[in-house]
Amino acid sequence: MQIIAFLILIVAALVGGKIATKLGLSNVVGQLIAGIVVGPAMLNWVPSLHSIHTFGELGVLLLMLNAGLETDVKQLKENMKPASLAAIFGVLLPLIVFPALALVFGINWKTAIFWGIVFAATSVSITLAVLNEQGKLTSTPGAVILGAAVLDDIIALLLVAVFTMFLGGSGLGLDSVMPLVAFAVGILMRRWAHSDKFLELSDTFGKWTLFPIFFGSIGLMISFDNFMNEILLLVILTVAAVATKYFGSVWGARLGGISAVDSRAVGAGMVSRGEMALVIVQIGLGANIINEMEFSSFVIVIILSTIIAPIMLRPLLNKVTD
């Protein structure tokens, strides 16, 4: 039964990706939406199984490993200033705006701070897939996004560690640090003489197996049970999620000396929250910092931002020349 669920998800994600590409959207968007369609939210052909999410996590690791294999360390160092500023401003703005929003909605200050931490995170894997898809991984925005997203993940890990240390909670596990480890391993593997051949094989394997499972599995987490009751909150949170990360990262990149065109691409590339935010929000639920209704709302907003990001990024990358 589980094998059938895996096959349905993979086929649906691959078909969804092809349809999205034909419509001028990103392959990733199609795979995410395919997960929603075949998942519990709609057709319910594929349940949100633990085994599927486990393989999805392996997909994240492979994406990050491949990203490391493709990363030009020299270019990454050259763009460290704009990447650092994009990461810092992209974290600061959500940390200010979301707690303020939470307090307006009558949320207690402890949970309000946690709102800010959730939406300060960035997903590097979604953006990496779009950059790779359009051949822009080694461009200036690609290098800045990659550096900023990795720094963002590190900052998010530190924020959760500090939050749980002083305000209680269970903290982060090893699985949340592993994507960064995989990225570092990929960078080290670039020195290997056969790294290009390995990258070609692992990328082909990932595209037909683990990557569609990962992107599709995110869609499986969507629930529309309280959608109509929470629609105003969802719209406000989604707009805030997109705006805070986009403008914060654009301002940071501009201060770092990146052109306006490239900065807008960086801003769009940092919008996706994806797996890191999902990890953080799961910690919040487990530690009773947020309730199940808040958890469901956050997951919907995280997935919406993950779908919106590649839609924003694709046309902006078309304007990037290097």
User: Rounded CA gap, 303 and 37, in Å?
Assistant: 14
> Quick one: CA dihedral 133, 139, 142, 146, positive or negative?
positive
Residue 243 has pLDDT above 70, yes or no: yes
Question: Going by C-beta distance under 8 Å and a sequence separation of 6 or more, which residues neighbour residue 196?
Answer: none
pLDDT of res. 30: 87
Please state the rounded mean pLDDT for residues 196-224: 89
**Mind listing the domains of the chain with CATH numbers?**
72-205+225-318 (1.20.1530.20)
pLDDT of res. 29: 79
Using alpha carbons, select from 140, 89, 128 the residue that is nearest to residue 262: 140
Contact 131, 317 (CB under 8 A): yes
Express each pLDDT in 57-102 by its tens digit: 898 889 878 878 877 777 677 788 999 999 999 999 999 999 999 9
pLDDT of res. 173: 57
- Of the pLDDT bands very low, low, confident and very high (cuts 50, 70, 90), residue 172 is low
Tell me how far the alpha carbon of residue 292 is from its chain's centroid.
22
| DSSP secondary structure of 82-115 | HHHHHHHHHHHHHHHHHHHHHHHTT--HHHHHHH
Percent over 70 (pLDDT), the chain: 92
Residue 169 has pLDDT above 60, yes or no: no
- Of the pLDDT bands very low, low, confident and very high (cuts 50, 70, 90), residue 195 is confident
Residue 125 has pLDDT above 80, yes or no: no
User: Rounded CA gap, 224 and 116, in Å?
Assistant: 24
Q: What are phi and psi of 223, to 5 degrees?
A: -135, 130
Instruction: Share the mean pLDDT of the chain.
Output: 85
Higher pLDDT, residue 282 or 294: 294
Please state the rounded mean pLDDT for residues 188-205: 90
Q: Which H or E run contains 19?
A: helix 2-22
Higher pLDDT, residue 222 or 167: 222
Using alpha carbons, select from 294, 266, 263, 246 the residue that is nearest to residue 97: 246
Question: Going by C-beta distance under 8 Å and a sequence separation of 6 or more, which residues neighbour residue 163?
Answer: 113, 114, 117, 169
Higher pLDDT, residue 239 or 64: 239
Query: What does the block give as tokens for 8?
Result: 């349905």
- Of the pLDDT bands very low, low, confident and very high (cuts 50, 70, 90), residue 170 is low
Most confident of the following: 69-73, 151-155, 222-226, 307-311: 307-311
User: Rounded CA gap, 260 and 191, in Å?
Assistant: 34
